[in-house]
Structure 1
Amino acid sequence: MKTLLLAGTALAATIAVPAVAQDTASSTAGQPDEQAIVVTGSRAAPRSALDTVSPVDVLSNQALSQQGTTEIAQALANIAPSIDFPRSAVVDGTDSIRPATLRGLSPDQTLVLVNGVRAHASALVNVNGSVGRGSSAVDLNTVPSVAIGQIEVLRDGASAQYGSDAIAGVINLRLREARSGGGASVSYGEYLSHVQTARDDRHVSDGDTTTLNGWVGLPLGAEGFLTISGEFLDRNPTNRSDIDPRVQPPRVRARFGDPEVDQYTGFVNAGIPLAADGWQLYGWTGYQYRDSTSAAFNRPSNNVNNVPAIYPDGFLPKIDVRSHDLNSAVGLRGDVSDWNVDLNISYGRNRLDFRTQDSLNATYGAQSQTDFYDGALIYDQWVTGLDVTREVPVGSGSLNVAWGAEYRREGYRIIAGEPASYNRGPLGGNTALAGGAQGFIGFQPANELEVHRSNVSGYLDLEYKPVEQFTVGVAGRAEHYSDFGWTANGKLSARYDFSQQFALRGAVSTGFRAPSLQQSYFTSTASVIQDGNVLETGTYPATSAIASALGALPLEPEKSTNLSFGGVFRSGHFSLTVDAYQITIRDQIGLSENIAATFSPQVAALLAPFGVQAARFYINGIKTRTRGLDIVANYRIPTASAGRFDLSLAANLNDVDVLRVPTNTAAGLDPAPLLFARSRILTYEEGTPETKIVGSVDWNLGRAGATLRGTYYDSVLQPGSTEASDLRTGQKFVVDLEARYQVLNGVRLAVGANNLFDVYPDAVPAALNSTGVTAFPFYSPFGFNGRFVYGRLSLEF
């Protein structure tokens, strides 16, 4: 397969472009699709992207698929400046379930919908030092790009319309709907890069990735459709570690980069009319299995937790995460007395099984096993929703009335691993040895739990259009959660079209995000020996006796106030949108620092009754203010002889300020331990680019086409414990290029390179990388793997 694609790539480079132009569909590979119909952000009649009251980016399947990646999160980040997808490493499960951010906010502050229905979150809690630390967000990569018709990104607060999480905005994944046709593609790519770390200079060829995907549309009756999509992904790991100076001879001993992934995904989307009066039964089911293996920090041979009898040269623990993800829904829609009614029920479930491989439990000595089952996390969600809409004539204008209700039930479960994954074995009395599996310790029986909660909500959404040029919307939503009670939110939005060319729009709203079950109940502990006593250290629920003793309180919802104002200008083939925003979030939830008994005698006295050495927990109290500007400009140049050019320039300017952090409220602590460190504050403020600009040119002429995209990333800060240990990525400009040619009718060959000029973030100085593991900042918004070269052969029928 690799030989075939590379040979085809060479052939494509030698084929001349035909002199006569032919009509081809717009690829929009480098820009939002403004002519597509938008349903997100309003329950009135669908509109084009330039006619919406709130800013919406519409990204077609072509824009997503004509890249070197099929990962939705990465493809979105490549196109949309407001979305960031840092490819973190050596942060345990987050290596495999990487979160994306919108407008620099937490990953769980963006609501994700599938066909307008709330998607379920991942079971993973991001508890380590990555962007999005403390969050538990939707894994966008559980839906393959081949199953997508288009994606709508609403860049505005929408909690009053959709409920919890829609603080930064909404991402609506609209599945492909087809009753005929189909397609398939095979792609192969790998990183061909020159790596320059603080201690090393080498050429690499790794991360080779093979992707097979396809879809087919089938008729259901006279008017119904059944669309089946599937994808297989096989990706080998990358390694951008530096030389380890602790070993002789000095050499690369760690693995810092993308995990190894084997992944299978299938989606079925269907709809069929039930009667001549317009009622339709619809639904979808998607399942993904992902086996992802990343590396922990390597242990040299002289490490106290190494057993030379097993690993005479030291060892590199691997963390294997096996994800089983289910996404399903069924619904019925139609008209009842001039009201359009949509009733649906959905179920989503994510199970993550953890294994530690190529490791050991040092407290078992030479008798230790090397592979461990560490336990599982499970999250599931039932949602039943009713949406009712009707457009009512009012004078010379119209009023769109929408109301509805929703019931949601969530569940969260932790399953313990096998005893050797967390136990202290026969050598456990040695205080120098760490118990449990090295690299990722297993969940203990004391960590096991199964919890549920439910919430009910109702909303009213009115959109009044007194004249053709003016639209004003009012929305309100109330929700009751079984764990913390009531919340209510509202939104006021308006748009005025001064002419066909120019319009102004704006909105003011309040929003909220309910604390996730993962944040409320996640617990993971490890046993340590101190002065002959077994003590625990770990993460505890805020409602636990241990956290309460340290000042923790039950979690409350985050609250936000969103302001936005912008304009739309269009003339002929040119369009421009500019939208300014301010998002103030109160009572934001964060994961506290570790509070150790060694901090003070008072803290030791509080922890002593529980046999705990150190603890951390989730806490409210962070206040942030985000101000920014989104600019999107597009220009189409159709020519008779040179083809059509689609030019796009989009920018996101974003500034996040932390205005307040929580302080410890435990009685008798003077001094009180720090709950939120400097590094956490700086991650909020500078962990994503303050400026990101994406410019692209998409060209089509007859059978040929190409996309050139350049992205500027402002410098991102990966904070250390002190200013001297801070890391910056530097200001970088990354270029992507893809060329396409239709070899035969329905057969297309593409060749391209992401990061064509092999750009890296600034390397970590040798003085800050004594182990050689983290050679580059993993907060980098464009990753740290260098140039990715690929070929793709696709078939349409």
Structure 2
Amino acid sequence: MKFKSNALQHAVKFALATTTAGLFMSGSVMAAEADQSEKTKVNKNVEKIAVVGTRSAPRSIGDSPVPIDIIGGEELGKSGNTDMLELLKGAIPSLNVHSMPISDAASLVRPANLRGLPSDSTLILLNGKRRHRASVIAFLGGGINDGAQGADISVIPSIALKQVEVLRDGAAAQYGSDAIAGVMNFVLKDASEGGSLEVRKGQYYEGDGDTTQVSGNIGLPFTDNGFANLSFQYKTSDATSRSVQRPDAAALAVAGVQGIAPLTQVWGAPEVNDDISIFGNVGLELTNDSEFYMFGNYSERDVRGGFYYRNPTTRPGVYGGTIRDVNGTNMRRPGDDNPEGQKAWDAATPTVLVGSLDGYDQQLACPLVELQENGAPDQAAIDSLTAANCFAFNETIPGGFTPNFGGNITDTSLTIGTKGEFTGGYLEGAFYDLSGTVGFNESRYFIYDTLNASLGLDSPRDFSPGKYTQLEKNFNFDLSKGFDFGLAYDLNVAGGLEWHEETFTVTSGDVASFTAGPYTDQGFGIGSNGFPGFKPSDAGEYTRRNYAAYVDLEAPFTEDFLMGLALRYEDYDSFGSTTNYKLTAQYHVTEDLNIRGSISSGFRAPTVGQANVSNVQTNLSSGVLVDSALLPPTNPIAILKGGTELQPEESNSYTFGAVYTMGDLFFTVDYYNIKVDDRISQSEKIELSQADKDVLDAAGVPNVQSLAQVSFFTNDFDTTTQGIDLVANYSADLLNGSSTFSLAYNWNETEVTRSSDITGAFKVSRLENDLPNHRATLSWAQQWESFSAFTRLNYFGEYQGVHVDYDATAKTADAAVTLDAEVTYFVNDSISLSVGAQNLLDQDAEELDFTAAPNNNWGGKYYETSPFGINGGFYYVKATYTF
């Protein structure tokens, strides 16, 4: 696959693709119900991809040449979790979701991993239409998701869904960028009557994390020929804590330092307030052969979580640096609040600080503050600062501080379209679908209980550092028609055109969040500590457009042998064009056994945000908190360290599997292999030497001296991911009721086949080892007349335990099993009461090895890479009214 910008070549490819017509589009016109048998034959496989559902999970569709899971809306409701990501993780073994206890913006929109690839390698659809990305970029994404910018799945309430379809196969030739790992299609309910109201309440066994959720759905007639299906969800979640007191904070408290909190640093889930989502789905039959549709959402939530503790004796740039005097005594550097009092070095004046500290040469007339053996500053010296027109933050915040990071997330979308069948002319019998979509996501950031050290004692404690917004527009025209070539059924030809625009906007924060105050030259940090605000020079609006033409053929050569071919040509106004293909086949060996497979190429375009965003983070470097800047790859500092303009990732994948059916037993097994070249991710944090800073200073780059490290997005490594998906379902009448058993297993392994120092050895280790290689679920759903029960065993294989992204703490964590269960009593036809639990047996995550320093330096209790979270068991009660 090559990316070029030759206009003539573009035009030839475009004309070739458009003359063939058609697209294989799940959820679009090919998903329309066909009453006539001939239409059913033409659209046999497409319909089953889009609309065939089941209430047992996980389940694959056996008639498809590629593996697909269908999770019904009722199955999604049988869980105590209120987060869509957690609901899907329990049903799809190849999907992993980390709880991200301290993770910057990744705690606002959590990323998910399908088949071991980052969240933006899975395409998200709503009713078959491309879903927009979130504006949040996961700057601290736990290795695999570092720098990922995927869609925000968590805004979708389960009560709004008819089913979720998960295509476990590369599909860029059908859907375009991002479909390297697969596709998730969320299908909204379309009933024109009835509905339900649900109230759910739960908390963790530890007594925290109280969660309240109220949700509802109603189907209404939209004239005599249509429907309007509306859903809402409102929830709140309290924060959790799985922490111990940090040893350094405990020592300060023993030394008598005031203001030390009982837990100075909290590891756990963030607090979520006023989380509301409203979804609507409307359809109207215009004629016997055409219909109008419209669907969309409005969602908003406030999130607030903890961050790293700022120790009052060791945090450089805020409480000053630690130096030694001529006698070797540890001293602290205060700030000179009287610049006129600065004077030249005088050997007879030992209270005057001179020399280089944090890269600055200063000569200040401030008394040095001696540190005692316990690390606490000498109080008498602190008291003398005011008289000397000097200050230290030990005066006002003696116990240090822990910033709270949060944000307001707003998400909205609207799709309008029409679809139907041509009844005359050359296209008679062809289906069409014309639609337009606009999606918008905004993340406005806040940081509390921190300060801008460069402003000295005049610094506020709360800041609004700015916001990111993501705006996407998409237009599709799709066609599908069957042609009789004497095959077992009609040859299905589908194709169409797509236009897409993506805009990423950075809005600057309040002035105090980014300004370089009067104490900058004395070595104090610039901007709101923990998340400095976006400067006006960082602000901007960045837009990219692309168009595509695509064709899809499905040929049933015999009753038992089906083949499909998809081609997609796509042109971007930034990096050029790409052409991708997909070839699929299925053969029925016997009536009960068929084999299937696919081979395809794919790509993932760098997002506009990844190409242009800049941000300053607080990062741990050898156990010390320092400021680390994420820069655009074309920034002068990034270029100095090896950054280049981003190019698309390119992938090649193949799958091979079999489907076996015997009575009530349904069994599938599929092997997959995905090679991705030039993967885009955030680079390793690269140290800036003083010489680097001086060069950049001379080039006019602002505020370089306050930075310790830089990183940037880069196409720096290649990976090969392979695995096996196994799915088995069995239904029977047992225990005087109806039973359904489901087994799903996934083996997944990723190998980094090319990397460099920019990626770093620890990033390679995280990519290869953070996720468990083995995942499995075994579920049993039992139905009686007045009761139902649902249980699920979840198996998680060994994984790499990591704490605070510090490689000295990585270890192999043990495999674990958790149990989920729910029992429902049907009071009558309308009312049901449920009680259940996730992680019923309260299986703990792997505990940190406190004998191996520095695992416990930051107050953690468990390795945060636990695939089932660190919060433990969660119980809940639920009441549902159906009408």
Give the TM-score band, short-chain normalised: 0.7 to 0.9
Unaligned segments of structure 1, at least 5 residues: 1-36, 193-203, 529-534, 664-673
Q: Does 1:684 align with 2:767?
A: yes
Q: Does 1:576 align with 2:635?
A: no
Select between 572-581 and 613-622 the one with higher mean Cα deviation.
Answer: 613-622
Matching residue of 2:133: 121
Letter in 2 for 1:50: G
Matching residue of 2:754: 660
1:605/1:635 Cα in 2 relative to 1: closer, same or farther (>3 Å)? same
Picking from 286, 293, 311, the partner of 1:274 is 286
- Where does 1:398-437 land on structure 2 (aligned, <5 Å)? 398-431=490-523, 433-437=524-528
For 1:259 and 1:213, locate their aligned partners in 2 and report how far apart those are by CA, in whole Å: 21
- Where does 1:554-633 land on structure 2 (aligned, <5 Å)? 554-598=645-689, 601=691, 605=695, 608-611=698-701, 612=704, 613=707, 614-633=709-728
Select between 108-117 and 492-501 the one with higher mean Cα deviation.
Answer: 492-501
1:774/1:589 Cα in 2 relative to 1: closer, same or farther (>3 Å)? same
Asked whether the 8 Å contact 1:460–1:477 carries over to 2, the reply is yes
Matching residue of 2:146: 133
Asked whether the 8 Å contact 1:123–1:377 carries over to 2, the reply is yes
Picking from 247, 271, 278, the partner of 1:245 is 247
Select between 266-275 and 124-133 the one with higher mean Cα deviation.
Answer: 124-133
Matching residue of 1:20: none
Picking from 435, 438, 446, the partner of 1:344 is 435
Matching residue of 1:754: 838
1:728/1:89 Cα in 2 relative to 1: closer, same or farther (>3 Å)? farther
For 2:529 and 2:801, locate their aligned partners in 1 and report how far apart those are by CA, in whole Å: 26
Matching residue of 1:547: 638
Asked whether the 8 Å contact 1:683–1:718 carries over to 2, the reply is no
Unaligned segments of structure 2, at least 5 residues: 1-39, 53-60, 255-261, 320-392, 423-427, 620-625
For 2:51 and 2:591, locate their aligned partners in 1 and report how far apart those are by CA, in whole Å: 15
Q: 1:243 Cα shift?
A: 2.1
What per-residue deviation string (whole Å, max 9, x for no partner) do you get for residues 270-289 of structure 1?
Answer: 0001123x210001120100
For 1:693 and 1:296, locate their aligned partners in 2 and report how far apart those are by CA, in whole Å: 33
Asked whether the 8 Å contact 1:144–1:231 carries over to 2, the reply is yes
For 1:718 and 1:354, locate their aligned partners in 2 and report how far apart those are by CA, in whole Å: 29
1:525/1:756 Cα in 2 relative to 1: closer, same or farther (>3 Å)? closer
1:172/1:647 Cα in 2 relative to 1: closer, same or farther (>3 Å)? same
For 2:789 and 2:165, locate their aligned partners in 1 and report how far apart those are by CA, in whole Å: 24
Letter in 1 for 2:728: A
Task: Name the count of aligned residue pairs.
Answer: 729
Letter in 1 for 2:280: V
For 1:448 and 1:728, locate their aligned partners in 2 and report how far apart those are by CA, in whole Å: 42
1:727/1:416 Cα in 2 relative to 1: closer, same or farther (>3 Å)? farther
Q: 1:227 Cα shift?
A: 0.4
For 1:215 and 1:119, locate their aligned partners in 2 and report how far apart those are by CA, in whole Å: 22
Letter in 2 for 1:272: L
Matching residue of 1:713: 796
For 2:692 and 2:471, locate their aligned partners in 1 and report how far apart those are by CA, in whole Å: 40
Letter in 2 for 1:705: S
Matching residue of 1:796: 882
Letter in 2 for 1:694: T
Q: 1:646 Cα shift?
A: 0.7
For 1:282 and 1:588, locate their aligned partners in 2 and report how far apart those are by CA, in whole Å: 37
Q: 1:303 Cα shift?
A: 5.3
Q: Does 1:453 align with 2:544?
A: yes
Q: Does 1:474 align with 2:486?
A: no
What per-residue deviation string (whole Å, max 9, x for no partner) do you get for residues 226-275 of structure 1?
Answer: 00100001100001112222234575322111110020110111000112
Q: 1:47 Cα shift?
A: 7.4
> What secondary structure is seen at the aligned counterpart in 2 of 1:375?
strand
For 2:649 and 2:867, locate their aligned partners in 1 and report how far apart those are by CA, in whole Å: 26
Asked whether the 8 Å contact 1:679–1:719 carries over to 2, the reply is no
> What secondary structure is seen at the aligned counterpart in 1 of 2:249?
coil
For 2:279 and 2:49, locate their aligned partners in 1 and report how far apart those are by CA, in whole Å: 28
> What secondary structure is seen at the aligned counterpart in 2 of 1:316?
coil
Asked whether the 8 Å contact 2:464–2:533 carries over to 1, the reply is yes
What per-residue deviation string (whole Å, max 9, x for no partner) do you get for residues 723-776 of structure 1?
Answer: 642144321111111111112221111101101111122112232234343322
For 1:463 and 1:598, locate their aligned partners in 2 and report how far apart those are by CA, in whole Å: 59
> What secondary structure is seen at the aligned counterpart in 2 of 1:252?
coil
Picking from 289, 292, 300, the partner of 1:289 is 300
Matching residue of 2:530: 439
> What secondary structure is seen at the aligned counterpart in 1 of 2:844?
coil
Matching residue of 1:784: 870
1:447/1:602 Cα in 2 relative to 1: closer, same or farther (>3 Å)? closer
> What secondary structure is seen at the aligned counterpart in 1 of 2:574?
coil
Q: 1:45 Cα shift?
A: 8.3
Matching residue of 1:675: 758
Q: 1:566 Cα shift?
A: 0.2
Picking from 334, 347, 354, the partner of 2:420 is 334
Instruction: Find the structure with the greater CA-based Rg.
Output: 2
Letter in 2 for 1:731: A
Q: Does 1:260 align with 2:271?
A: yes
Asked whether the 8 Å contact 2:141–2:147 carries over to 1, the reply is no
Asked whether the 8 Å contact 1:64–1:70 carries over to 2, the reply is no
Matching residue of 2:192: 179
Asked whether the 8 Å contact 1:682–1:719 carries over to 2, the reply is no
Asked whether the 8 Å contact 2:531–2:617 carries over to 1, the reply is no
For 1:169 and 1:180, locate their aligned partners in 2 and report how far apart those are by CA, in whole Å: 34
Q: Does 1:75 align with 2:87?
A: yes
For 1:372 and 1:715, locate their aligned partners in 2 and report how far apart those are by CA, in whole Å: 41
What per-residue deviation string (whole Å, max 9, x for no partner) do you get for residues 405-462 of structure 1?
Answer: 100011001011111112232333332x322222322111121111101000000000
Q: 1:542 Cα shift?
A: 1.6
Q: Does 1:394 align with 2:491?
A: no
Picking from 64, 70, 95, the partner of 2:76 is 64
What per-residue deviation string (whole Å, max 9, x for no partner) do you get for residues 547-585 of structure 1?
Answer: 233332211110111110000001111110000010001
Letter in 2 for 1:55: P
Q: 1:338 Cα shift?
A: 1.2
Matching residue of 1:531: none
Asked whether the 8 Å contact 1:565–1:580 carries over to 2, the reply is yes
Q: 1:642 Cα shift?
A: 1.9
Q: 1:498 Cα shift?
A: 2.1
What per-residue deviation string (whole Å, max 9, x for no partner) do you get for residues 351-405 of structure 1?
Answer: 0000111222223333221111110000110000111001222214220000111
Letter in 2 for 1:624: T
Q: Does 1:642 align with 2:655?
A: no
1:264/1:741 Cα in 2 relative to 1: closer, same or farther (>3 Å)? same
Please give the TM-score of this superposition, normalised by the length of structure 2.
Answer: 0.80
Asked whether the 8 Å contact 1:40–1:116 carries over to 2, the reply is no
Asked whether the 8 Å contact 2:455–2:516 carries over to 1, the reply is yes
Q: Does 1:170 align with 2:183?
A: yes
Matching residue of 2:782: 699
Q: 1:592 Cα shift?
A: 1.3
Matching residue of 2:357: none
> What secondary structure is seen at the aligned counterpart in 2 of 1:445?
coil
> What secondary structure is seen at the aligned counterpart in 1 of 2:827?
strand
Please give the TM-score of this superposition, normalised by the length of structure 1.
Answer: 0.88
For 2:284 and 2:438, locate their aligned partners in 1 and report how far apart those are by CA, in whole Å: 20
For 1:644 and 1:525, locate their aligned partners in 2 and report how far apart those are by CA, in whole Å: 57
- Where does 1:7-46 land on structure 2 (aligned, <5 Å)? 42=46
Select between 238-247 and 546-555 the one with higher mean Cα deviation.
Answer: 546-555
Letter in 2 for 1:95: S
Asked whether the 8 Å contact 1:436–1:526 carries over to 2, the reply is no
For 2:313 and 2:631, locate their aligned partners in 1 and report how far apart those are by CA, in whole Å: 33
For 1:164 and 1:59, locate their aligned partners in 2 and report how far apart those are by CA, in whole Å: 24
1:457/1:682 Cα in 2 relative to 1: closer, same or farther (>3 Å)? same
Letter in 2 for 1:773: G
1:150/1:44 Cα in 2 relative to 1: closer, same or farther (>3 Å)? closer
For 1:175 and 1:229, locate their aligned partners in 2 and report how far apart those are by CA, in whole Å: 9
Q: 1:308 Cα shift?
A: 4.3
> What secondary structure is seen at the aligned counterpart in 2 of 1:77?
helix
1:589/1:771 Cα in 2 relative to 1: closer, same or farther (>3 Å)? same
Matching residue of 2:164: 151
Asked whether the 8 Å contact 1:493–1:507 carries over to 2, the reply is yes
